[in-house]
């Protein structure tokens, strides 16, 4: 599968070009268009329980659609819900990725995307605890709110990132969550930064330049009668902030 993007970084569309018989799995609602002859099949990948875990815990859709190219090949265009970039992550057997809740929108046939518990830090950091594990060999596409930044950490190198800006990271990267001002809740609140992640390499971390949680709260304050909702970090086609506008 070859991935090419256009309209970056504000309103990115990713075109997945497939060879004859090649398939791509796409989050429900993320497809924009596809070429003639491409066939599709929607089902709950892994069965009913896996679909429930993906939709309820991972912030995705219950059904995943598989698009298969005809003999002459074809393409599928995909995009996320919020304005921003789309990034293709190279997944290898020795370097699986953890993807932020709701950020996954597509993957090549050699990659398996499963719901995974991201730890208590993700739960209390506002990420809902669960996300997606992308493993295997191939590409996984993530939707970014804003522009994407990539940080490659050397062994022992550390970086501090606001919890709402983390999109994906190598599963072997070590991290811990803490208050922005260590040991001082009131000072963290005054600074406007509640919780942060400390990541330590080696490994790769992907960031988004905008915070969907902050946007959700802004919308809630701007729309009369709305109240802030938790767990609105979803950027994929099947969940997230789109429900605010229904």
* pLDDT tens digits in sequence order for the chain, 246 residues long: 999 999 999 999 999 999 999 999 999 889 999 999 999 998 655 544 454 454 544 445 546 899 999 999 999 999 999 999 999 999 999 999 999 888 999 999 999 988 876 554 444 444 445 688 899 999 999 999 999 999 999 999 999 999 889 999 999 999 888 887 765 544 444 434 578 899 999 999 999 999 988 888 888 888 876 555 544 444 444 444 443 333
Domain membership flag for residue 245: no
Domain membership flag for residue 243: no
Domain membership flag for residue 100: yes
Helix (H, G, I), strand (E, B) or coil at 36: coil
Phi then psi dihedrals of residue 14, to 5 deg: -105, 125
Domain membership flag for residue 53: yes
Domain membership flag for residue 129: yes
| Bond preceding residue 202 cis, omega within 30 of 0 | yes
Judge residue 235's burial from the number of C-beta atoms within 10 Å of its C-beta, 0-12 exposed, 13-18 middle, 19 or more buried: buried
Domain membership flag for residue 135: yes
Q: Which pLDDT does position 239 carry in this prediction?
A: 41
Both tokens assigned to 161: 């990132």
Domain membership flag for residue 241: no
61 vs 53: CA distance, rounded Å: 10
For the chain, how many structural domains are there in total?
Answer: 1
79 vs 26: CA distance, rounded Å: 10
Percent composition of the chain: helix, strand, coil (DSSP 3-state, to 5) = 20, 45, 40
Q: Which among 8, 61, 93 has a CA at the least distance from the CA of 234?
A: 61
Helix (H, G, I), strand (E, B) or coil at 82: coil
pLDDT tens readout for residues 141-193: 999 999 999 999 999 999 999 988 999 999 999 988 888 776 554 444 443 45
Both tokens assigned to 96: 């699986």
The end-to-end CA distance of the chain, in Å, is 34
Q: Which among 95, 104, 94 has a CA at the least distance from the CA of 236?
A: 104
Domain membership flag for residue 61: yes
Q: What is the CATH number of the domain that holds 23?
A: 3.60.160.10
Give the domain extent around 177: 2-234
CB-based contacts of 80, cutoff 8 Å, min separation 6: 30, 86, 103, 105, 143, 144, 235, 236, 237
13 vs 11: CA distance, rounded Å: 7
């Amino acid at each position: 599968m070859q991935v090419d993007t256009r309209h970056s970084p504000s309103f990115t569309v990713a075109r997945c070009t497939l060879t004859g018989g090649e398939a791509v799995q796409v989050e429900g609602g993320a497809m924009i268009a596809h070429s003639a002859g491409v066939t599709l099949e929607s089902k709950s990948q892994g069965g009913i329980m896996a679909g429930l875990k993906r939709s309820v815990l991972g912030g995705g859709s219950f059904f995943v659609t598989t698009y298969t190219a005809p003999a002459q090949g074809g393409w599928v265009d995909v995009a996320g819900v919020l304005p921003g970039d789309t990034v293709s992550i190279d997944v290898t057997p020795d370097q699986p990725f953890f993807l932020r809740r709701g950020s996954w929108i597509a993957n090549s046939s050699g990659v398996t995307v499963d719901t995974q518990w991201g730890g208590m830090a993700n739960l209390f950091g506002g990420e809902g605890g669960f996300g997606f594990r992308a493993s295997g060999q191939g590409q996984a596409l993530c939707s970014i709110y804003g522009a994407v930044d990539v940080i490659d950490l050397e062994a022992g190198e550390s970086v501090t990132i606001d919890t709402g800006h983390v999109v994906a990271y190598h599963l072997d990267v070590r991290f811990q969550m803490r208050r922005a001002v260590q040991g001082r809740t009131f000072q963290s609140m005054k600074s406007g930064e509640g919780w942060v992640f400390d990541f330590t390499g080696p490994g790769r971390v992907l960031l988004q330049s905008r915070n969907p949680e902050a946007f959700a709260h802004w919308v809630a304050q701007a729309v009369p009668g709305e109240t802030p909702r938790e767990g609105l970090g979803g950027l994929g086609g099947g969940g997230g902030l789109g429900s605010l506008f229904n």
